[in-house]
Structure 1
Amino acid sequence: MAGYWDGPEGEECPRRTWLTTRVGAAAGEARGTRGFVLVFCLLFTATLGAVFGVTTCLSAQIREEPDSPLDYFIGGCATGAVLGARAHSYMTGTTACLGLGVTAALFKIGNKEGWRLTGPPKL
């Protein structure tokens, strides 16, 4: 996601959406499937990335709070709703909404505060 964090949130929505779409497609490709299933998986995961990117960016624009973790929660929740629609299941959509929304919000908080997953701790 090189370049995604450059500049304030809510600006350059097409570029940010393109970056998240590419990450989604890469996640679909990492599944290691072949043939038609690979194409379907790539398209679906790229769509999930695009939904996340555009929802997060538009939420930041509408709410006029460019650095808010709530924008990421909304983007993750929208992505979860798409998963639920694909599965034809309200329960899947609700669970994915909450899970992806909380994960995305924590990711944003961690990025803002400099959390690290690997390496020595900052002292």
Structure 2
Amino acid sequence: MLRGLRLLPLLALLLVAGSVWAAGPGQTLVLKQEQVFQVTLAANHTTGYKWMLAKVPDPKVVKLVTNNYVPDSAEGPDGKLRMGVGGHEVWTFQAMGPGRAMIVLNYVRPWEKDKKPAKSRSLEVEVR
């Protein structure tokens, strides 16, 4: 029961969370203070790739709450399990105080330090 009570604040945040699936170049997400939002990106951890913050946003403006990998169903249409199934990474952030911040996420294999990211996504956030 105590464990459930500890999760209550996070669940409350997620209930009011907005979701950002894709932002085009030059777009800015405008938020109010304390507003929670999610960035959801396709991923496949079975390949070794994962999304990583390339640029940590200003914590006075935006803070990272959590990030999780959610695998797609591994069951195929025939009912058999499929190998190498992908999923999504869900990054949850909270707007803290007024200002602008840039969130930059790169799709990389963490051990390949000298390689360019396979993909990169950025989102500008303005908190009013």
More helix by share: 1
More strand by share: 2
TM-score, scaled to structure 2: 0.29
TM-score, scaled to structure 1: 0.30
